[in-house]
Amino acid sequence: MKIKNCQIKGYQIDACFSAGTCQNAISTCDIRNKIEYLLKKEGLSGFLKNRVKGEIRFHHEFKIAVSDCPNACSQPQIKDIGIIAAKTPEITDIECIRCMECVRTCKENAIVLHEPDTCPAIDISLCVACGQCIAKCPTGTLAVSKEGYRILLGGKLGRHPRLARELLCIYSEAETLAIVARCIAYYKAESRNGERFADLMARDEVLLTALTG
């Protein structure tokens, strides 16, 4: 059975299945609705009708996924834009009681506490910014260093699948929305006949710098 073009919104936006009830969730800010509002304003359905030869199908749509934690149930790694809530830890001046909760909690082995150290050490290269060590610390020795979103760009499935490339920073909500807007603008300017955002990125080595400002 054919799917009529009127059902094509021009975009797909996926979010976590838990609807805010997951114990691992970092973000309580509903950035998904703000992104969808932005996507509706861009008129991607009309854009696709003008650019795609023949019938518009769901695989033509621009795909975004928002995840409330690094478990990434919404699969941001294979979407045009993936957004993952993030919270990185830092060591404060509050005395550590060596309870080892942070070490036991960290699944990435990014935190160590050796004798005769008086506070834990964090390997940021291993940290996935899940924030769970901060929540488990009973003293406040670990606190939030930065909170926001990790951004991944240019993922897709299909005949030639490609994992999205992660930007190096953690971005605020305002910065994240601005990057999404720039990505959509670039896509509308450069995509021809349903060409995916991932394909645009693959042929433009300086695109990441331009999109992140």
Please tell me the predicted confidence (pLDDT) of residue 2. 43
Whole-model pTM over 0.85: yes
Q: For the chain, what is the mean pLDDT? A: 88
pLDDT band at 210 (very low <50, low <70, confident <90, very high): confident
In the chain, where the domains are located: 5-86+146-212
48-95 residue pLDDT tens: 888 888 787 878 889 999 999 999 999 999 999 999 999 999 999 999
**Which pair of tokens denotes residue 91?**
């060591």
At a CB cut-off of 8 Å and minimum separation 6, what does 4 contact?
Answer: none
Looking at residue 1, its pLDDT comes to: 36
CA distance 22 to 203: 38
- 18 or 96, higher pLDDT: 96
* pLDDT, position 213: 65
What CATH number should be reported for the domain whose range is 5-86+146-212? 3.30.413.10
- pLDDT of 95 reads 93
Structure tokens at 27: 């973000």
What pLDDT score does 7 carry?
74
What's the Cα-to-Cα distance from 11 to each of 44, 104, 170, 204, 213, rounded to whole Å? 7, 41, 25, 23, 24
Q: Return the amino acid letter for 181.
A: A
User: CA geometry: angle at 17 spanning 161 and 25, to 5°?
Assistant: 100
- The 10 Å Cβ neighbour count of residue 104 is 11
Q: How far is CA 57 from CA 18, 45, 121, 144, in A?
A: 28, 11, 50, 43
Residue 207 φ/ψ, nearest 5 degrees: -65, -40
Report the run of H or E that residue 212 belongs to, with start and end. Answer: helix 207-212
Calculate mean pLDDT across residues 14-30. 75
Enter the tokens of residue 33. 């609705």
Q: What is the pLDDT of residue 133?
A: 96
Token pair 């996507």 is found at 39
Decide if 90 contacts 145 (C-beta within 8 A): yes
Q: Is the pLDDT of residue 128 over 60?
A: yes
DSSP summary character for residue 51 = H
Write the CB contacts of 142 (distance below 8 Å, at least 6 apart in sequence). 89, 90, 91, 92, 102, 120, 133, 134
What is the pLDDT averaged over residues 148-173? 92
Q: Which two tokens stand for residue 121?
A: 């050490």
Looking at residue 84, its pLDDT comes to 96
Tokens of 132: 């769970």
d(CA 115, CA 130): 26
